[in-house]
Amino acid sequence: MPPDDTRRPSDLNFVITLDGNKIGESALHRGNFLDSDKPATQTARNLDSIASIQLPAKWIKFEQNTQLCDATMFRHSTIESTQISLYGSRKPLDEQSSNAFKQVLNAALPSPRIIYSEKMQTNTEENIEAVKELSGAFGRTRVGDNQLSSSPSRRPAFHLDTATVETVNGKKVIAVDGWFTQLDDYAEIKMGGNGPLKRRYSGIFFEANTDPDARPKIKELYLLADDDIAFTSNKAAFRTALKSIEWK
């Protein structure tokens, strides 16, 4: 559904994203996705290195585990394409990707701090190179396959809007916002009147294992939605969930 640019300013509320930006949210549609500003929650426990997290009450849990990865999803009760998921490979990172991830997290700089922002006119080669080096940690066929790291001869799977280092309840994470292209049944990119159809994404990447000398296993906790209104309406609930995390 294309965004409605005809709404009056009085029709709009705003939510603050992890990177501090304001995103418009339609008051007319808001009630379809959140029952109130403080919706009922359910407690999910023992999700890998997450001891507990408070999630929207009516979202339905699914698990998809393979030999290569583990995925736990909580789908919206009426909009299946809107989900909060915990995803990660069962294998530790390769040494180069591990070093890149640790270097970004442990840099002696304040948190939060911006690694990359598409809106900034001052992105340096150092910023862009940092994103490229994080492609292994982000997943080379997922968020790591973005416009900065992929070959210019093809369209990447993911478009990166922002990447920042932040702290969630004492644990440093890399927060990412952006969008995936939507694919049809033939694995072709779905196109709309204004370009490719987008699956909106907001997530965090963090180390899941606790051994400081081991190469990290990276987990990804994210909100994903096909619809702009569904995404912005549930972004506040996702941020609330992040704030509720208790780490192991």
Question: What pLDDT score does 38 carry?
Answer: 58
* DSSP reduced 3-state for 154: coil
Indicate the pTM of the whole model. Answer: 0.80
> Residue-wise pLDDT tens for the chain (248 aa)?
334 333 333 333 333 445 454 433 333 233 333 333 456 889 999 998 899 999 999 899 998 877 788 899 999 988 888 999 999 988 889 999 999 999 999 886 777 888 999 988 778 889 899 999 999 999 999 999 999 998 888 889 999 999 999 999 999 999 999 999 877 766 677 777 777 778 999 999 999 876 767 777 899 999 999 988 999 999 999 999 999 999 99
Beta strands in 100-154 (DSSP E): 113-117
Domain segments of the chain: what residues? Answer: 9-247
Residue type, 64: Q
CATH (residue range 9-247): 3.40.1000.10
C-alpha 19/C-alpha 11 separation (Å) is 24
Contact by Cβ (8 Å): 219, 208: yes
Cα(first)–Cα(last) distance of the chain, in Å?
40
